[in-house]
Structure 1
């Protein structure tokens, strides 16, 4: 009896914490400020970090192989950024390490919450994702802009919407495979995630989605005949929903599809220049230790924009040393994973080839969940 009461007290004491965690995901699609600045959801995450920290951090020895490479990477980012800040007499290089530290803290405190109550933590994430997806899709349906070549809902740009949908699809599939959510609930999240990705018309988000959909096929096959029977109904419902929601906009959709497909060849040919990869070759002197992020005026007008690639940004900004540490961090999350975990992991990584997604906290939580649900449990 005493143990039961203690468990209930522990569960209820964690509820305020889980509310903030769920709210973070639910508010993530709402962008009120310019990209690169903290959004409403980030202020909620700060509250979660504060409450989780004062309630006690629990990181067992099994989590060291993920946490240590992540900590080393963040430390190295600070070293490089502070060094260049001193050399250039500028504080602009210090913005990036603050984001990395914030995302790392969010990741380890979600880890700590999971270790204290895994079911409650996963439910908070899943319910928050459902809320965020629902708000985004409803807003998009009610405010469809037929004059825009791509849709963005409440995000600042379509790529952010596609990335959010991609990460939500991957996280929902991870939790579903782990048996923590019903088939219907998973189908709801997955359908809305697919809808956001396709309406964003982000080519790399759609390409990344292919791997997550492939992983879902494997999961459905493993779940058995009953689940496989549901799959055709899910597909039919998805097509029907699209037809009803966008019945007067199908011509726009078909035109947008044709327009985006016609750009594939051009984007592929110019990926080095358009995404900033050419900067790595033009300034090889930064390849060992990195040039830090910020103060891009050093590289002339041609390279005044940031590199549109997560891995490209890490390689140029933090050199081969930082790139190796970051890859070790990613490898630690997937090295014990099976084919499903690897396919899910590939989704956002494909997107990151042409977009900088490391500032998104959900990506760091996504990596954590791959480690927890597809890696560490196999020890």
Structure 2
């Protein structure tokens, strides 16, 4: 049952019924999984290696720092606006800590992989058949509240699919899902996602070459490379033939970098440097002349939680990223580049992506050894 709940949560994450910033149905479904896992595992989270455990401890350290920092600002400002961000960080931490050990169960893994593929295919069919919404000009958004939300969902789901898929024919299937993902991101016209999805497609292509060459000679690797060389330009030609291509390109060419930096909150780092050491707390943005939060995952963590919090969080991210193989690192860069200009850490699918990447790290590091690692409890 737990496998189906994880899968259903991923699929339902693309349906937004409430305004952005509020819990959606998928949030509640994932929370139900936390409760069930807590009951079945008696709140004991097991990790297969010291490295995996240490990575989780960095995440817990950041989560504790964020909660304490926001609580301090609640007391300073006499305003509870900071509590909401703390809840989302705790939620994300629980997503990672519960999903990672769950993915050791092959049933959960297969269910999550299937859910990722079905989510991309379903979203593509929604767009192809005219279902979904266009509330921001010609930018398609499916059943999300914003095109950027859809684009981030697609990149994270594809990345999770990339890390968890294995077996015969996985390279070909990965490449197909990668192509569909690129199309979906393209029709959202999200600038940050368009930068990120290129890494996803490149990672899929490299993995396609690797899987084609497994158990065969260099001839199949050369054949796979030639297929990619011919297929990618053709795909790009067809992609840029879409009606939305000119609009998507114009969004890049017409970008006012200075204006975007101010709108997205990057300039706060220069305008309010006094907050950079310990952080400004995540909430009550009216203190800085706007009601909008910073539109960048990485800049937001730096400004809201200071250099100290940023260092802890990036240590957690780096411990996953640096242990991936080359295609894995490239796939990881998709959500990372998206996060440069849009805030996505609040979204559950971001934590699904991180847990899937951590699973890939585990398999890379244990592959050379035939001796099972001793489980460690946190």
TM range, smaller chain = 0.7 to 0.9
- Report if the CA contact (8 A) 1:172-1:190 is conserved: no
For 2:248 and 2:314, how far apart are their aligned partners in 1? 34
Of 107, 114, 128 in structure 1, the residue corresponding to residue 115 of structure 2 is 128
- Report if the CA contact (8 A) 1:167-1:362 is conserved: yes
Q: Does 1:154 align with 2:143?
A: yes
Cα distance, 1:280–1:49 mapped onto 2, change above 3 Å: same
What is the 5 A alignment of 1:265-284?
266=256, 268-284=257-273
Deviation at 1:327, TM superposition (A): 0.6
For 2:247, the equivalent position in structure 1 comes to 256
Deviations 1:175-230 (A, max 9, x none): 23x44873454344323222211111111111111112222222222222278276
For 2:82 and 2:169, how far apart are their aligned partners in 1? 42
Q: Does 1:209 align with 2:200?
A: no
Deviations 1:328-374 (A, max 9, x none): 11011123222222211111111101000100121122122222213
Deviations 1:38-94 (A, max 9, x none): 111111111111111111144125121221000000000000011111111111100
Q: Does 1:371 align with 2:362?
A: no
Say which is worse superposed, 222-231 or 42-51, in terms of deviation.
222-231
Of 71, 75, 84 in structure 2, the residue corresponding to residue 86 of structure 1 is 75
Q: Does 1:101 align with 2:90?
A: yes
Q: TM-score, normalised by structure 1?
A: 0.85
Deviation at 1:307, TM superposition (A): 0.6
Q: Does 1:192 align with 2:180?
A: yes
Cα distance, 1:138–1:370 mapped onto 2, change above 3 Å: same
Q: Does 1:76 align with 2:68?
A: no
| Equivalent residues, number | 351
Deviation at 1:163, TM superposition (A): 0.8
For 2:159 and 2:183, how far apart are their aligned partners in 1? 14
- Report if the CA contact (8 A) 1:211-1:346 is conserved: yes
Q: TM-score, normalised by structure 2?
A: 0.85
For 1:171, the equivalent position in structure 2 comes to 160
Q: Does 1:312 align with 2:299?
A: yes
For 2:288 and 2:321, how far apart are their aligned partners in 1? 36
What is the 5 A alignment of 1:341-352?
341-352=328-339
Deviations 1:281-324 (A, max 9, x none): 11111111111111112122xx3311110011101100011000
- Report if the CA contact (8 A) 1:25-1:41 is conserved: yes
Q: Which runs of 5+ in 1 are unaligned?
A: 1-15, 244-249
Deviation at 1:168, TM superposition (A): 1.9
For 1:358, the equivalent position in structure 2 comes to 345
Give the structure, 1 or 2, with the largest relative contact order (CA under 8 Å, sep 6 or more): 2
For 1:23, the equivalent position in structure 2 comes to 8
For 1:334, the equivalent position in structure 2 comes to 321
Say which is worse superposed, 128-137 or 232-241, in terms of deviation.
232-241
For 1:236 and 1:23, how far apart are their aligned partners in 2? 35
Cα distance, 1:273–1:179 mapped onto 2, change above 3 Å: same
For 1:311 and 1:221, how far apart are their aligned partners in 2? 32
Cα distance, 1:237–1:49 mapped onto 2, change above 3 Å: farther
- Report if the CA contact (8 A) 1:150-1:200 is conserved: yes
Q: Which runs of 5+ in 2 are unaligned?
A: 214-219, 367-378
